[in-house]
A and B are shown apart, each in its own frame.
Chain A
Amino acid sequence: SAVISQKPSRDICQRGTSLTIQCQVDSQVTMMFWYRQQPRQSLTLIATANQGSEATYESGFVIDKFPISRPNLTFSTLTVSNMSPEDSSIYLCSVEVPRQGYYEQYFGPGTRLTVT
């Protein structure tokens, strides 16, 4: 398995500001993913971050709003830019680990963001 940590665990931010969320994993992984979970909603994939290349964004998510960095094989950041109350969500990172011919996906503990 993989042990994943996220910082901060939660934050309350004012609209118009930006927050950078960090994701650290205890082993080297190729693929990392960022998900958003709006209140009482399901998880939606924001983007896939492959080390050494630009992140790939899902429909409805753009780099200007959610810039992602992936400087090495154990770390990634997601920035939520120019925040509005609609950005209040749990943001989760996940990593992909090869397991017996399959790629298992493990999730971090999440970052609870409230925008006022």
Chain B
Amino acid sequence: NAGVMQNPRHLVRRRGQEARLRCSPMKGHSHVYWYRQLPEEGLKFMVYLQKENIIDESGMPKERFSAEFPKEGPSILRIQQVVRGDSAAYFCASSPPGVNTEAFFGQGTRLTVV
């Protein structure tokens, strides 16, 4: 059973471009979470999605950031018009449905805005 797969592992974008980060959850996992880790800081929750639904987006910046988890395919975190402050590691986690489950993390996408 493959783990949580994120791609690309490294992404470089110029200011003003769009960044798309993809996350394929573990098999059987229908819940996806995105976290951001700024340089030298801890992980911050961004958004929680189930298939075709955003459940909790309390950690998402109000502008330029969006996330989706379609019925088919990976979850996508999209950042429009990137700025230097968006440079960070973005981690995706997935968990199965049910009670008392743990989340498993991918290896992250490191976004660098130049």
Q: Do the two chains bind?
A: no
Q: Which residues of B contact A (CB under 8 A)?
A: none
